[in-house]
């Protein structure tokens, strides 16, 4: 039988696609021929990411709202027929402070975005991948090296990123019967707006109370790593990968 002249592109959902790692990953996937649904709260930023590419679809989404997430994945199924990949990337650094200094409201907001939002997206992706024909797909969660070792005054962010690791492992285990794999990328000090928030350019707070200018690395290298994970054959999966700036204070922090 002859192959179709225009085979269906592999379809991906990237959350937090309006900036930083999400934008870089979306571009890497699009350059590799993937169709990508760009999800995020800011339409204008998503449109800048899309840059009028034919295989990019802008879908403004608040991942803390279940109805928004359901609509996002329905859009992908309707446009491309199936879902092959979710890059669960949207997140916030949340409040800075020790546990006695942050408010319940700020804690709840960070958990809603970083953990519950990731849960909602993964659940919709899993449901689609389980029910489509043929079954299967891949979920990649953006953790952080905070999933391994915290920075000072980052209790909400660190707790949610540790929880992300449990989410990743549980999805991987539960997805085996349906050809669904789940892995996690833990990124340290790639050059994005978040690094500016952390004060890396002027000296990031260290465990001993000092500040240190930390090295960063190009966000495109993190995106290339995600693309490699995404394009593995179904018979292979990367459970966890850590990519950091060379020389950053991670191994042996403090």
Q: What is the pLDDT of residues 194-245, one digit of tens each?
A: 666 655 557 788 878 888 888 888 999 999 999 999 999 999 999 999 999 8
Q: Is 157 a catalytic residue?
A: yes
d(CA 61, CA 63): 6
* Lowest-confidence pick of 143-147, 165-169, 212-216: 212-216
Q: What is the pLDDT of residues 114-143, one digit of tens each?
A: 999 999 999 999 999 999 999 999 999 999
The more confident residue out of 213 and 15 is 15
Q: Which of 73, 126, 157, 217 is catalytic?
A: 157
Q: What is the pLDDT of residue 198?
A: 59
Q: What is the pLDDT of residue 1?
A: 44
Q: What is the pLDDT of residue 190?
A: 86
Nearest by Cα to 203 from 193, 194, 215, 211: 211
Around 147, how many Cα atoms within 13 Å sit in the side-chain half-sphere? Answer: 25
Domain edges within the chain: 11-244
pTM > 0.75: yes or no: yes
- Per CATH, the number for 11-244 is 3.40.50.720
Cβ contact 21:43 at 8 Å: no
């Amino acid at each position: 039988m002859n192959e179709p002249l225009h085979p269906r592109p592999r379809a991906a959902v990237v959350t937090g696609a309006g900036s930083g790692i999400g934008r870089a990953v979306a571009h890497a996937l699009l350059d590799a021929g993937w169709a990508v649904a760009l999800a995020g709260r800011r339409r204008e930023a998503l449109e800048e990411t899309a840059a009028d590419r034919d295989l990019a679809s802008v879908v403004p989404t608040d991942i803390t709202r279940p109805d928004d997430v359901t609509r996002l994945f329905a859009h992908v199924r309707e446009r491309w027929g199936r879902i092959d990949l979710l890059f669960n990337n949207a997140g916030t650094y949340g409040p800075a402070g020790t546990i006695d200094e942050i408010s319940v409201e700020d804690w709840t907001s960070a958990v809603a975005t970083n953990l519950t939002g990731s849960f909602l997206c993964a659940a919709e992706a899993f449901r689609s991948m389980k029910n489509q024909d043929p079954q299967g797909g891949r979920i990649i969660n953006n953790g952080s090296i905070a999933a391994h070792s915290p920075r000072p005054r980052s209790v909400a962010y660190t707790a949610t990123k540790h929880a992300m690791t449990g989410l990743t492992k549980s999805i991987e285990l539960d997805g085996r019967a349906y050809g669904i794999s789940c892995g996690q990328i833990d990124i340290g000090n790639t050059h994005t707006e978040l690094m500016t928030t952390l004060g890396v350019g002027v000296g990031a707070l260290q465990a001993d109370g000092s500040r240190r200018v930390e090295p960063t690395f190009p966000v495109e290298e993190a995106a290339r790593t995600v693309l490699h994970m995404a394009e593995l054959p179904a018979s292979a999966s990367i459970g966890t990968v850590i990519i950091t700036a060379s020389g950053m204070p991670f191994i042996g922090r403090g």
